[in-house]
Structure 1
Amino acid sequence: MNIDLKFFAVRPEDAPDDVAEARDLLATSGLDFDNHIELLVVCRGDGRLVACAGLDHNIIKCVAVAREFRGDSLSLRLGSEIISVAAQMGRFRLFLYSMPHNRHLFRGWGFYPLVEVPGVVILMENSPLALQRYCDSLRSQRVAGERIGCAVLNANPFTLGHQYLLERAAAECDWLHVFVVKEDASTFSYADRFAMVADGVKKIPKVTLHPGSEYIISRATFPGYFLKDKKPIAHIRAAIDLLLFRDHIAPALAINHRYVGTEPFDSVTKLYNADMEYWLQRAPSRAPVIKVVEVQRTSMDGNAISASAVRQLLSQCGMHSIEKLVPATTLEILERTYSAKSQLAVAGDDQT
């Protein structure tokens, strides 16, 4: 097809006409436009938009090519353009979500499959070795034992509830591996949350504390534009995270138990706990089963301790109000880092 094709990178908020055309093009592939896109690469030819691809941080999404151009080299050129735009922004490590039947198309872009929710979505990365290297680094920290446990914490902030969960898990296991969610989408920064957990586990024996990674509850969030029925989105996002854990991370450390606190407050975390039981224990997999151990939350004055409750008290009443709910080490970090007068956001899920 001999048509002059030109590529442009635009910000969605500055290009409503491009966004409108991209929405129409995506719709022809059964996709929706994702409003989290920072930059949109569009290709125009013959007076219309014939291809598009979006970038959300380091995630490529909203990729579509007009049907009559799909047999040409336009897809490869589109991939080259969006990857180049990402590189100009200093983003070299990229992830991409695709319907499983398009995996061969994106292999041509230099992306490799990480994990697949069968028949629904596949997560890919632009490196064939990055996940393997990460798991190799974990493997070097493996500890022998029959019962090897794990807990993944957001710790926003680290509370006596978190400390109780880890103490209980460590007491029941030959060794416990603890991961702190790396994504900086919480009230408290990753650096501060990691410091709180590090101080909180110092006196707990048989524990290895691991930094977070993009392979554990990261910004590689499932893009909802794949599904017309939006209800399963949270479940599929959880599936991607949990399959990565079961198939790659857990085997590297020989983890066979994962500990989580009961969730009486936050609906998102409660659903995640339920999904955890399915994907780690019952879903078909070549990887070993990981038993999910749900520990009843500890309480204070008859109320279950939660990070969301601590954030609310801190925002409304100041540091003195949380003294009975967090370890002394957490209180020290909060007093040192945050002003008691600062207005802290209380929104967001608990994520233990």
Structure 2
Amino acid sequence: MADKLLEIKNLSIEYNTEIATVYAVNGMNLSLDHGETLGLVGETGAGKTTTALSIMRLLPEGIGEVTAGSILLDGHDMLKISEEDVRNLRGNTVSMIFQDPMSSLNPVMTVGDQILEVLAIHNENVSKDELNKKVDQMMELVGIPANRKNEYPHEFSGGMKQRIIIAIALACEPKLILADEPTTALDVTIQAQMLGLINDLQKRLNTAMILITHDLGVVAQTCEKVAVMYAGEVIEYGRAEHIFSGKYLHPYTQGLFNAIPKLDEDVKRLETIDGMIPDPTERMEGCRFASRCKYAKERCKNAPDMIEIEEQHYIKCHLFAESKDKNAGRDEKDGR
């Protein structure tokens, strides 16, 4: 067993189209321990789904390209191993719960056969009767009667299709689940049930998860660690208690929290973050958030380094680098 289940180092990803080159992920660093849950948050276009697809090696062929960095998954270099080895890892070591159930299921196969297909690929020595029993178990596990396994995707509602996607992803009990907005099509009650189901599996099998979401409430209830992405970069990373305590926060993370409605405040208009996310087709120098940041200064024309401001809490911002330097100077003066 590798020390880290997942290690992403200096990852950069581009989408090359006839119109322009899109710089989707830029020098990303991330790691995940066995059994750990990481919430990956940020607005649309930040590079969250692209990161997950690169781990699965499912970037669009001929368009998506990893231009730098490495992805180590359970000791396997995902960017260097053969396509056959990748297929053996998908579903067994890593599974992905896709955001859109409508396009994730095969319309001409029954839902039971789609779950069975995943199980059969990774359990060649198991009898078909045993595999069919496992299909029934997975259907019941996500709250769908097993007698509906011979029905087709069009016979299910959007929420039930999403449950089938979750059943497929969990069927082989993978070490890592990549959950891309897994509860988008579900109502609040079923959403809680599905997140509870995924959490129960994690505890039972020591399964790790990267939860991609816009819902900070879900992150607070589900995740041990949080990574905030902006314009293809992780700009803040730490344990959930660090991020949600509000003690030290990147200006962008502050903006995300300020935009959340508060039950104890009666306001006519929610706060917003001024401006727009940078054009991903343009290479940027300096801080990517500078054009929207109220603290921006001349120094922000240079790219900030990721610094540790407290144990296991990292922020990529000149504002905190400057504060840390001042505190270090005071400590030296005081003889500490």
Q: Which TM-score applies when normalising by structure 1? A: 0.24
Q: Which TM-score applies when normalising by structure 2? A: 0.25
